Structure 1
């Protein structure tokens, strides 16, 4: 009786649990077999709603950003493309409707046309595939104007591309589609959802260690635009952050595999992903990313189409279907190729200059195919946020202006936190593109970055003389920034233009809820260093216009070869006189400029030790005192052209080592690490004088004799003399980032792991020259003359609970 009394309720509870589980499985199975027409009707309309959100968000942003009076006028960019690329190539490299007209009225009309087309899709009808085509073309066209590089931009362009091939929608109020897509097309959407979620997971967890278990504790504050709940979540106990990270691993790494098993397992993944999207939306502002991902989760509810027999190239299929199937196969192959990459490498991976060194010519064709199709934005890699735990701070650049050289006034963006009282806000699904971009400006990953070719935007104009903050500062100093989009009322419209401006870096630390209630301050604000020095409207280093090909990053070698300079490079490689080629394809460089370069500018430094940069400030002052700004610009362009012609002449000796040279097994005849190093070697030879350069061009094999004398300092010498502000800015950024990465108390890797990491780093440095520049610049431009504000970058230590806290070392001040 006793045992019966004790165990009968437990058997009842067990039976209830089994029945509940079976009922849950039945519900999941029912959801997994929803009518395909209903599923795809909802998915298509969901994508259309996101299109409407995206276009509506751009209606009032595109003019201030890319109009003729905007910060980065797209008309200037289109003119530069016409200057640098011949037709019809430029239309293939940069497709879009802005080739019809780049004026302000047409530019402002594009998002309104897109919004109208998106709403017609929501309304339904037989025209919906055509409307999807229009939405995709309009959004792709705006890529030139506002640089659509965020993960959700890429996801919308890719999902929108395939949405053009979905069946038409029934007229509202019916929500179903007129039919189901082909099984291959259904799998494209499933694979897309997998790549997004698994891409974020692999980027976040690959290479992580136990010390990274506190990742979310710092991330809730460091993320670009935290919400009030995200700001508050930072204060949650560490065990909650660790548990949330473990749950994140399950949803982003484990569950995505369930999408390949149509049925209840896929539904579980979809529901978990939707829940994660709601949690992300509660803590951070990521535009329409959450809405779009939830919409794509709907594809998991159609198991019937996913398990239907998959006929790719059956002879009985219509020609249009066969063409679509072939496109799907090509896309799937490309998706597998770029799966290991992250979001920012999506735009550059086919352009990396070392592919021809690594792969035999017969195996380079896939790279060439996807390079040719990349302008359509139909294929992307996904994944952001490295796995490393980081301190819970925000590095906030503040633009400060003065009208009297005595008092400085801070300009405050609407959404980005700048002052102690700047509240975190909810703004998504609207995407404030200026505010969101500030996080990349703060870290130095912008147009002036030496990392331009490793990660960045598709076009080569992402490599500029100054960053977006510099362009914005120039507009403010000239009194040309009339829109309230950027700084609202903090920049009085009725006042004259400021006489000077600067950008300084502040560290923001979240206050406690009690402190916030008592003082109203959301942040503790500390001045920690410079960002851009004091400038006036006439300062030429603030020039942010699209640069010509000779000023692009040397590792944008593929783009340089595609430009009008490509023919000159091929002629130089064949042995033609570089002096006869250097002024071709431009009317701005003359023979007088060439003579001044070789007879006056280069000889000026004949007695200078180019490895010694201690005299750099005096040399910069000497150059600027002798020549006008336009003449200095022409010298810079000529140096760039001569260096490119030399690279073309010597490249065959550099690439001859192939993969063996990269692996360190056999040196190349000209054994420099990367295309960047090759460029620096040629500039070193230019510094040796005209005769040395001409001898190298006659006999490229002699270039190797200069390797022992060349250093990064001597190679970068002319750049440092002509553009010191840009290089000093990058050096400061790299030191700032190092202060947050080199954490005291961080676990050291084992000897074996350290040895493997060193070997891998050495190989990577033979692929991208930017890594050598990071290490090099961290030790340069440390004199006070390069920074009006002293560098007091904070240092951090790893605590027992795996959080990171600021550390003040003896003799080191981190607060102003």
Structure 2
């Protein structure tokens, strides 16, 4: 079928595949380095406890058959190795069927991780990586030209990411309609980056321009993805520029980067007069069948986008094949942070020697400038932001975090920037307090060197110690 492939997108496919493999590498590396404290046998939300109550059909994962920390580590590091092989272009050296299998392996491994990841993996970019990774299986290698149907479905994902985010903003917080959300967002976003303070201090008229440009990019430009070239390339390029702006303004894990990767697939990059062999019949049949399935499953995210009760970041099937996306339907006006402290005193008092734990990414010491971590994902730091919004977000894991800190648990401490206690002297008590954080002014920054100013709000967790049972006790 002559219409089946689009040889002119050969270079776009190549760049897309290598970039997607790099995102996979970051995702698997994040899992390998953090899982023991979060999901391990002694983690805050252990996988065996989850698989005991949630069946395979609801959350398909190889860990339903067997779980051990060693097996999880093996899966994560195998995913890293497969991702590195794909970055190196090994799929281009294999027969078509073997290349498809090579792309299917990291998808299956990451699906197994996400489906047992619980709260730690309940982010929209997890489903976005899985949905994009599933389509990458059918994109082919140098034995065939890029399939038109798969290229279309990649644009369909990008459309839902952008348009869904635009709709949720217009339907959500009134500040998006008033063009005032960026008066607050750079200060209250989950994890500020090294330039976020400067973005916040931009003139308010420029913030209005930013919001207006965002609405255009998310609500109007996505429709141009389905127009002839060069309009589609111009639309994709504008989305890439917008995402790079967001990369500079904060730490949003790999959300911005995988959106950029999707936009690359819509670019008409010059590739000369490259020709490809005719696609085998079995491949055409498989791609057509997968495309029909995904288009059928798309009715659920479409209904969600059209609904006045639109929800963000939801999977409609356990394989995360077609999902709905969105971000920041509401924007906080005030930033709160949970500050965790410990003391060696046997009897905790207000004047005890309380020492603060420092997290890697979330604000803590007002004088410590935020760092750039994205696309690497600091899962605990992100969830601490949710915990500050409401204790209900932390109910499943915060007590376990306190218990691990009281034990000086090595894997948990590795998630932090610094523990104030030596390895052989764990704290006797842990407490948590809620503070309001705000960016300092230019004058305050010059005088104090602090980028944050914080004010005590209330007690979040009273002084807590390990009871004789090993569980935290107030």
**Structure 1 pair 433/208, CA: closer, same or farther in 2 (3 Å)?**
closer
CA contact (8 A) 1:66 1:74 kept: yes
Aligned-residue offset at 1:488: 3.4
Counterparts of 1:470 and 1:156, CA distance in 2: 30
Aligned-residue offset at 1:100: 4.0
Match of 1:43 in 2: 16
Please identify which structure carries the higher strand content: 2
State which of 67, 72, 75 in structure 2 corresponds to 1:102: 67
Structure 1 gap ranges (5+): 1-32, 171-176, 305-314, 348-369, 449-465, 544-628, 630-724, 726-816
Aligned-residue offset at 1:60: 1.2
Counterparts of residues 495-506 of structure 1 (less than 5 Å): 495-506=424-435
Aligned-residue offset at 1:471: 1.6
Match of 2:298 in 1: 332
Match of 1:536 in 2: 465
Please identify which structure carries the higher helix content: 1
Match of 2:240 in 1: 274
Q: Deviations over 1:657-684 (max 9, x none)?
A: xxxxxxxxxxxxxxxxxxxxxxxxxxxx
Match of 2:105 in 1: 134
CA contact (8 A) 2:312 2:324 kept: yes
State which of 312, 316, 319 in structure 2 corresponds to 1:376: 319
State which of 401, 409, 428 in structure 2 corresponds to 1:480: 409
**Structure 1 pair 322/487, CA: closer, same or farther in 2 (3 Å)?**
closer
State which of 214, 218, 242 in structure 1 corresponds to 2:208: 242
Aligned-residue offset at 1:316: 11
State which of 382, 386, 393 in structure 2 corresponds to 1:436: 382
**Structure 1 pair 379/49, CA: closer, same or farther in 2 (3 Å)?**
same
Is residue 398 of structure 1 aligned with residue 339 of structure 2?
yes
Q: Deviations over 1:556-614 (max 9, x none)?
A: xxxxxxxxxxxxxxxxxxxxxxxxxxxxxxxxxxxxxxxxxxxxxxxxxxxxxxxxxxx
Counterparts of 2:13 and 2:297, CA distance in 1: 21
Match of 1:523 in 2: 452
Match of 2:277 in 1: none
Aligned-residue offset at 1:270: 0.6
**Structure 1 pair 489/199, CA: closer, same or farther in 2 (3 Å)?**
same
CA contact (8 A) 2:439 2:452 kept: yes
Structure with higher RCO (Cα < 8 A, 6+ apart): 2
Describe the SS at the equivalent of 2:251. Answer: coil
Is residue 194 of structure 1 aligned with residue 159 of structure 2?
yes
Is residue 151 of structure 1 aligned with residue 116 of structure 2?
no
Structure 2 gap ranges (5+): 1-5, 271-280
Describe the SS at the equivalent of 2:364. Answer: coil
State which of 99, 111, 114 in structure 1 corresponds to 2:76: 111
Q: Deviations over 1:642-666 (max 9, x none)?
A: xxxxxxxxxxxxxxxxxxxxxxxxx
Counterparts of 2:470 and 2:367, CA distance in 1: 33
Describe the SS at the equivalent of 2:457. Answer: strand
Counterparts of 1:40 and 1:117, CA distance in 2: 18
Is residue 284 of structure 1 aligned with residue 213 of structure 2?
no
Describe the SS at the equivalent of 2:438. Answer: strand
Counterparts of 1:415 and 1:303, CA distance in 2: 37
Describe the SS at the equivalent of 1:431. Answer: coil
Match of 1:61 in 2: 34
Aligned-residue offset at 1:495: 4.1
Q: Deviations over 1:87-135 (max 9, x none)?
A: xxx2222211223432111111212111111122222333331122111
Aligned-residue offset at 1:513: 3.2
Counterparts of 1:537 and 1:272, CA distance in 2: 54
Counterparts of residues 490-639 of structure 1 (less than 5 Å): 490-538=419-467
Counterparts of 1:488 and 1:299, CA distance in 2: 37
CA contact (8 A) 2:7 2:145 kept: no
Match of 2:3 in 1: none
CA contact (8 A) 2:20 2:258 kept: yes
Describe the SS at the equivalent of 2:107. Answer: helix
CA contact (8 A) 1:148 1:154 kept: no
State the TM-score, normalized to the length of structure 2. 0.85
Aligned-residue offset at 1:496: 3.0
**Structure 1 pair 445/36, CA: closer, same or farther in 2 (3 Å)?**
farther
Counterparts of 1:343 and 1:485, CA distance in 2: 31
State which of 200, 224, 244 in structure 1 corresponds to 2:190: 224
RMSD of aligned Cα (Å): 2.8
Aligned-residue offset at 1:542: 6.9
Match of 1:160 in 2: 133
Is residue 418 of structure 1 aligned with residue 361 of structure 2?
no
Counterparts of 2:33 and 2:73, CA distance in 1: 8
Describe the SS at the equivalent of 2:461. Answer: strand
Counterparts of 1:161 and 1:297, CA distance in 2: 16
**Structure 1 pair 446/118, CA: closer, same or farther in 2 (3 Å)?**
farther
CA contact (8 A) 1:212 1:387 kept: no
The count of residues paired between Structure 1 and Structure 2 equals 442
Counterparts of 1:215 and 1:490, CA distance in 2: 36
Match of 1:27 in 2: none
CA contact (8 A) 2:403 2:471 kept: yes
**Structure 1 pair 268/322, CA: closer, same or farther in 2 (3 Å)?**
closer
Aligned-residue offset at 1:427: 1.0
Aligned-residue offset at 1:164: 1.2
CA contact (8 A) 2:167 2:305 kept: no
Describe the SS at the equivalent of 2:418. Answer: helix
CA contact (8 A) 1:232 1:513 kept: no
CA contact (8 A) 2:298 2:322 kept: no
Aligned-residue offset at 1:35: 1.4
**Structure 1 pair 34/242, CA: closer, same or farther in 2 (3 Å)?**
farther
Q: Deviations over 1:690-722 (max 9, x none)?
A: xxxxxxxxxxxxxxxxxxxxxxxxxxxxxxxxx
